[in-house]
Amino acid sequence: MIRVPAAATLDTRQEAPAAPSTAPDEAPAVLVLADGTVLRGLACGARGSVCGEVVFNTGMTGYQEVLTDPSYAGQLITFTYPELGNTGVNGEDMEADHAHARGCIVRQLAPQPSNWRCQETLDHWLSRQGVVGIRGVDTRALVRHLREGGAINGAIASDGTDPATLLQQVLATPAMDGLNLAALVSTPEPYVWSRPCAAPFDARLQPGPDRPYRVVAIDFGIKRAILERLVAHGCAVTVLPADTTLDQVLALQPEGVFLSNGPGDPAAVREGIALATDLLQQPQLPVFGICLGHQILGLALGGRSFKLGYGHRGLNHPCGSPGSVEITSQNHGFALDAASLPAERVRITHLNLNDGTVAALALRRQPVFGVQYHPEASPGPHDADHHFARFVALMAERR
């Protein structure tokens, strides 16, 4: 790592990449953090420069799902797994129509994928998706830096932009606090989702009820896998934009309302909080929130959210309730303040067992609950899939 000196000049000494590359393209790339840290490597993906919040994901698989997850909008993702791209990319594992991550930071990029589902190399796909990447950097050192100092804005450049110029661009980039990114990634128009799963080998597929449950899903950055799991559990889903009002929801006569995952600061999603506040005035209506939707529920109940130091992003986060532990898939940089939630109305049902933050909540006298993690498990373990069945059970009881 190279740091910007206190003076106005920048140390631009050339450093060899941390790992040798077997790919034919040896174009240089650079990563600059807001604190002046500079890492040099080789280009991958699209050529250009891009700024965003630098975060890390600890998953050993699922890079395509991660890069297309709308919750990663505005972020440059550091993958801790040392080699990416060994299984390539396919059309079934997309969580959205296109990549939402702004940048990709990897130790080594596999030049030749090998998998029966592979349709394209990761490098080619990143280029086609416009995702600027850097490879050959010491991702272990970078992750230690982020853990010690917290998630931080940064920039990747593979177009020859010098580090001093990049640093100025990074310093002008807004912090994640206060950003309503859900408004940018949400669907502009309502649509209906009826497909249970793109992959026919998913062993979790079960026959649904004769009459599907009518669910309205509010799109703050919803993943396709969530829609697939709702349909697989017997729901007919209508997806509405993030700025939807209560009247628009009730006009569809839903048997349940789902508040989706999404990017950015939950406190900035004011229209979503207003809708959740109104939904809570419908005492018999089941409501289920995941990730950002869970946080929005907490804020609608009068709670507060705060930014985590470096967030929870990966596939192996333990969350528990008394007598039960789930290994979960997570992707969030904010959390709810447990002390701010009204105890007479809210029960905290699960805690993150790594740091004790709120992992799930439920209302004591209403069919409303939220989970901070991702029970659709795309990618990740299936421990938490039962929360979809829990939502359906609430709708069945009301029906």
Instruction: Considering only residues 237 and 210, tell me which one the structure prediction assigns the higher pLDDT.
Output: 237
> E strands within 71-183?
75-79, 83-84, 103-105, 108-109, 132-135, 152-157
Q: Is 235 a catalytic residue?
A: no
Q: Is 319 a catalytic residue?
A: no
* Average pLDDT for 192-203: 71
Query: Rounded distance, CA 77 to CA 59, Å?
Result: 12
Q: Locate tokens 């309730």: which residue?
A: 321
Q: In the chain, what is the greatest distance between 2 CA atoms, to the nearest angstrom? A: 71
> E strands within 108-176?
108-109, 132-135, 152-157
Catalytic residue among 228, 255, 326, 376: 376
Query: Rounded distance, CA 220 to CA 145, Å?
Result: 30
Catalytic residue among 291, 319, 350, 387: 291
Note the pLDDT tens digit of each residue in 61-111: 999 999 999 999 999 999 999 999 999 999 999 999 999 999 999 999 999
Regarding beta strands 49-57 and 75-79, do their DSSP bridges make them parallel or antiparallel, or are they unpaired? parallel
- What pLDDT, on the 0 to 100 scale, is given for residue 26? 86
Element (H, E) at 166: helix 163-171
Query: Rounded distance, CA 243 to CA 270, Å?
Result: 9
Q: What percent of the chain has pLDDT over 90?
A: 86
Q: Which domains does the chain have, with CATH numbers?
A: 28-171 (3.50.30.20), 182-398 (3.40.50.880)
- What pLDDT, on the 0 to 100 scale, is given for residue 308? 97
Query: Rounded distance, CA 28 to CA 220, Å?
Result: 36
Give the CA distances from residue 287 to residues 170, 254, 336, 353, 358, in Å, rounded to whole numbers and listed in that order. Answer: 39, 10, 18, 25, 18
AA identity, residue 260: S
Give the CA distances from residue 312 to residues 150, 160, 315, 323, 352, in Å, rounded to whole numbers and listed in that order. Answer: 12, 33, 9, 23, 10
Closest CA to 230 of 248, 212, 244, 242: 212
Catalytic residue among 312, 317, 374, 387: 374
Q: Is 291 a catalytic residue?
A: yes
Task: In the chain, count H helices and then E strands.
Answer: 10, 19
Note the pLDDT tens digit of each residue in 319-329: 998 889 999 99
Model confidence at 207, in pLDDT bands (50, 70, 90)?
Answer: low
**CB neighbour class for 250 (10 Å; exposed up to 12, middle 13-18, buried from 19):** middle
Answer for the pair 254, 215: CB distance below 8 angstroms, yes or no. yes
pLDDT of 145 > 70? The answer is yes
Alpha carbons within 13 angstroms on the beta-carbon side of residue 52 total: 26
